[in-house]
Amino acid sequence: MNKLLDKIIEDTYTKSDLMRRLGLLKEYTVRRLFSKSVNSLSLSQIDSEWITSLGEDFFKKFDIKSVYDTFTQLEVAAKEINPLTIFLSVDMSNDYIAQIGQRCRKLFARLPDRQGQRFLIDIKLDPGLIAGCSLVWGGVMKDYSIRAKIEENKQVILQSFKRSLK
Amino acid sequence: MLLALLAAVGGVIYAVRYFRSARSGLMNLDQAQQKGFEHLRRAYQKAQEILGKAELEGIKVVADTKVTTRKLEQKYQAETEEVVGELEKSFSEGLNRSSKEFIIYLDSLKKTSEKAQADTQAYMQSRVNQILDKFETNLADFLTQTEQKSISAIELELKGARNLIDTYKTQQLTLIDENIIAMLERTLSLVITKKLTLKDQVDLVYEALERAKVEKFIV
């Protein structure tokens, strides 16, 4: 089951994507197993490519008897993953989000209990950050944005501003 | 008058006795009557004389009495006048003496009263002065205390007002600073959004992730 999840997470970087893909995968797999026809399932190109990238060996691990249980376990395991919430100041495309996700997995590969391999992010929008991002991990927030830097250097900024007024 | 009456009564009694003795004696009635009438006439004349004398005596006595009475009255009056005069004199002397003594007494009373009045006045004056001094002292103390309390209250109010002003000033300056920062953030957000590319934004995210790793934020 872990290998299945690892495979699914391999090219999935956000938790919302993971849950969505699990749902899609479940439907796809069930149709594949029970109706032998998956054409009626409407998938986006990206999703379709992703499913194809999983390979036939992946789907061989599912059988009719245990497919639902397997997916239930996968969903449970997926829900247990705590993602790193990243607040961005601008909306980014999936490519950039994927790049950020990959960078996170490289940086935090050594986390225990497979957290490094299964590292997921959760992207949220906060235009007030101006630029940069703020991170939330384990219920704790750390602001690395421009706004935080302005706040840190507020007195210096104000002093130079007041000096420039004189 | 009394003597005359007594003499007249004596003569009548003698005549009656004589007549009795004549009656009782057995003399010649005519002689006896003649003697009797003779005696009676004499007695009558005697009685008349005696009466006359008695009247004269009485008149004399009355006159003497009147004279004596007059004399006595005069004497009495004189003595009375003398006594009255003496009484008046002594009374007036006594009155004068009493008046003098009374005047002396009044003088002494007056002096005593004046002395008492002067003493009372002096005492009242000193008492009034004491009261005024005490009042002045108390008033001065009260005014000093009131002044100090007023000053303390005013200073407290001033201090409170100054603190309020300082607080307000600080608040306003803080507000201004926050407004400056808000304006700066707003300006930066408008400018940076246009100037920074998505790649730059992603680079900033990478930088944040690197810092998070260094700071061991994600463990």
Q: What ipTM does the predicted assembly reach?
A: 0.86
Inter-chain CB proximity A128 and B189 less than 8 Å: yes
3-state secondary structure chain A: CHHHHHHHHHCCCEHHHHHHHHHHHHHHHHHHHHCCCCCCCCCCHHHHHHHHHHCHHHHHCCCCCCHHHHHHHHHHHHHHCCCEEEEECCCCCHHHHHHHHHHHHHHCCCCCCCCCCCCCEEEEECHHHCCCEEEEECCEEEECCHHHHHHHCHHHHHHHHHHHHC
* Cβ atoms A124, A88 nearer than 8 A: yes
Which token pair is A104?
Answer: 């996170």
Label residue B15 by pLDDT band (50, 70, 90): low
Neighboring chain B residues of A154 at a CB cutoff of 8 Å: 177, 181
pLDDT of residue A97 exceeding 80, the answer is yes
Check if B173 contacts A (Cβ < 8 Å).
no
Inter-chain CB proximity B206 and A103 less than 8 Å: yes
Neighboring chain A residues of B211 at a CB cutoff of 8 Å: 144
Region B93-102: mean pLDDT is 83
Q: Which of A90, A103, A135 sits opposite B201 (nearest CB)?
A: A90
Distance from CA of B207 to the nearest CA of A (A): 8
Task: Encode pLDDT of B120-168 as tens digits.
Answer: 989 999 999 999 999 999 999 999 999 999 999 999 999 999 999 999 9
Label residue A116 by pLDDT band (50, 70, 90): low
Q: What angle in degrees, to the nearest 10, is found between the helix axes of A15-34 and A2-10?
A: 120
Q: B216: helix, coil or strand?
A: coil
CA-nearest residue to A152 within chain B is: B181
Q: B218: helix, coil or strand?
A: coil
pLDDT score recorded for residue A114:
61
Task: Encode pLDDT of A140-164 as tens digits.
Answer: 999 999 999 988 998 898 899 889 8
CA-nearest residue to B218 within chain A is: A137
CA-nearest residue to A138 within chain B is: B218
Q: Which helix (H) or strand (E) holds B137?
A: helix B29-195
